Structures are given as structure tokens and as C-alpha cells.
Amino acid sequence: MSQIRLKIAIQKSGRLYEDSVQLLKECGIQLRNVKDRLRTEADNFPLEVFFLRDDDIPQYVEDGVADIGIVGENVLQEKNKKAFVVEALGFGKCRLSLAIPRAEEYEGVQSLQGKKIATSYPFILQEFLKEHNVTADIHEISGSVEIAPGIGLADMVADLVSSGSTLFMNGLKEVETILESQAVMISNIALSSEQELILQKLLFRIRAVKKAQKNKYILLNAPNDQLTQIIGLLPGMKSPTVLPLAIEGWSSVHSVLSEDTFWDIIEQLKEAGAEGILVVPIEKMIV
């Protein structure tokens, strides 16, 4: 009997490739010969991996050639294919923005009326303009969109931005965010119950990895007379673990802290008398 495998499509090379492969690795999924392959199988999980151009992934997932895929929300929306988003993955963050020559004034979306806008995202841009009752001339180009105004091809651009340095180096300024994007896991809309089961197993692991990335394990020494105050500062998964130290009057306290509150709490812990504070990364976190 052939074993049922879930087929996942990930980017073959480019900005999402490393993080996608890394995520699978952190989920304990070992892939055979990843380099220069079109497809491979996992040794220890019922997963088959296809390496594709990101633009093709939504179509493959809609058609069921792949059951699931990892792709940017920008590409998913632009391709407008039938697929569910099952999990936001937290990497590949960027935004699709409108940018105009730096010397020009921006007077709101209405001022786009009749303008020529260069973009690789004509569908999303068209929807955005429609929403604002604006008609503009959309000029689709597939790469180096940012040079279009400089060479007289367009008045402005709608392009992906992360640090903003590409726009800056081309004399452009960001004036409007059309879409915030990150990598997401998408799924075919009609998975079999066996496939759904494998997907849920994979998602369980992904969530444990993501949660671990957001949290740190903290160990510290506390004088016993300050224990109540120190424990009060720590959330922990249930409550902090407290163990006696070999030195009389001191305890070792272990807990888990979220990245968001981390520095604030560390400062308060020090003020409350905590010493020898160690902070350790967590590999997986299952709650």
C-alpha cells in the first residue's frame, strides 16, 4: 500500500526559500538533497516537497497538484486563486506601497486620477483604485519597477518595500500602503481527510516552533526573602519553577518570558534582587 503524502509547494530560490526550508527543518522534517531539485520527499514525515517559482504556487494549490504551499500574501492576492490561508508564518514581511518622485507633493488617493503607475501587481492595484473610485493607467512590468519614473515610463510605482532603501536610491518616496504582506501557508480547498490529518500534524509543529521563537527560557538566582516579589513578576507556563540553591537563603527560579515584555521584566527582576540571570532560547514550545 502506498503511503499517503501531503504535497507542499515552496519557492525554488529567492527570498522565501531559506525560511521555508528552515521552518520545515525546525519542525523536525528532514528533506533529501534539497539543492537543485524539482521535488523531494521527507524521510521522517509524510511530506513531498515541490520547488517552484512563487508566482506559480497559488495555481498549483488551486489545481491540487500541490495540496499546500508557502507563498507571500502579495502573490496570493495578485493571482486571485482559490486557496485557504491556514497559517501566517511571520517571515517574508513587506508591504506593497505607492511611491512617487521625492520632489513631488502627494495629495491623497484622488490625485492618482489619470496617472501612469508602473507595477508588477496590476490586479491588487486595480482593486485598490476601484475601491477609491480612481481611474489610472496601470503599466505592468515584471522587474525593476523602481526605475520606471526615472526613465519616463510612468509617473509613479506600486512596488514591494521592506527597508525602503530601493525606493530611496531611486529618488522615490512611499506615500500609501496598499497591502501588508508576509509568507503564509495556503491549502487546497478540498483536502481528503487523510491529507487534512497530515496538515494538522504539520500545523501543530509549526505553531510550536513559532511560539518558541517568541519566548525565552529564563533562569535566575533569588534571595528567599525576595521570592514572592520576584515570582510575581514572572508569568511562566503554569507558574515558575523554584528550586533551593546549595547556598542557604537562596533559590533558583525558572520561567518562560515572551519577547514583547522581556526587557521590562528583566529590569524589574534586577531591581527586586535577582542575580545571575540566564536567558536561553527555546527550541519548541507545546502548550
**Binding residues for Zn ion, per CB under 5 A?**
54-55
Q: Which is nearer to Zn ion, 143 or 249 (CB)?
A: 143
At 86, give phi and psi (nearest 5°): -105, -20
State the binding partner of 251 from Zn ion, ligand PRT, none, CB within 5 to 8 A by kind. none
State the binding partner of 159 from Zn ion, ligand PRT, none, CB within 5 to 8 A by kind. ligand PRT
Side-chain-side CA neighbours of residue 235 (13 Å): 12
Q: Which is nearer to Zn ion, 74 or 170 (CB)?
A: 74
DSSP-derived letter for residue 213 is H
Name the minimum Å distance from CB 75 to ligand PRT.
5
DSSP-derived letter for residue 143 is S
Q: Which is nearer to ligand PRT, 18 or 63 (CB)?
A: 18
Q: Which of 124, 121, 123, 119 is nearest to 139 (CA)?
A: 119
Q: Which is nearer to ligand PRT, 141 or 277 (CB)?
A: 141
Name the minimum Å distance from CB 88 to ligand PRT.
12
State the binding partner of 161 from ligand PRT, Zn ion, none, CB within 5 to 8 A by kind. ligand PRT
Q: Is the Cα dihedral 95, 167, 164, 183 positive or negative?
A: positive
**Other CB atoms within 10 A of residue 20 CB:** 25
State the binding partner of 33 from Zn ion, ligand PRT, none, CB within 5 to 8 A by kind. none
State the binding partner of 89 from ligand PRT, Zn ion, none, CB within 5 to 8 A by kind. none
Beta carbons within 8 Å of 79's beta carbon, 6+ residues apart = 55, 58, 59, 123
Name the minimum Å distance from CB 139 to Zn ion.
18
Name the minimum Å distance from CB 121 to Zn ion.
11
Which residue carries 507542499 as its cell? 8
At 120, give phi and psi (nearest 5°): -100, 0
Name the minimum Å distance from CB 178 to ligand PRT.
13
DSSP string, 220-265: EEEEGGGHHHHHHH---SSS-EEEE-SSTTEEEEEEEEETTTHHHH
CA dihedral 250, 255, 258, 263 (to 10 degrees): 10
Name the residue type at position 130: K
Q: Which is nearer to Zn ion, 26 or 55 (CB)?
A: 55
DSSP string, 29-68: PPBS--TT-SEEEBSSSSEEEEEE-GGGHHHHHHHTSSSE
Q: Which is nearer to ligand PRT, 58 or 240 (CB)?
A: 58
State the binding partner of 92 from ligand PRT, Zn ion, none, CB within 5 to 8 A by kind. ligand PRT
Q: Which is nearer to ligand PRT, 162 or 261 (CB)?
A: 162
State the binding partner of 181 from Zn ion, ligand PRT, none, CB within 5 to 8 A by kind. ligand PRT
By CB under 6 A, name the binding residues for ligand PRT: 11, 14-16, 53-55, 72, 74-75, 92, 94, 159-166, 181
Q: Which is nearer to ligand PRT, 24 or 198 (CB)?
A: 24
Beta carbons within 8 Å of 235's beta carbon, 6+ residues apart = 255, 256, 257, 258
Name the minimum Å distance from CB 56 to ligand PRT.
8
State the binding partner of 164 from ligand PRT, Zn ion, none, CB within 5 to 8 A by kind. ligand PRT
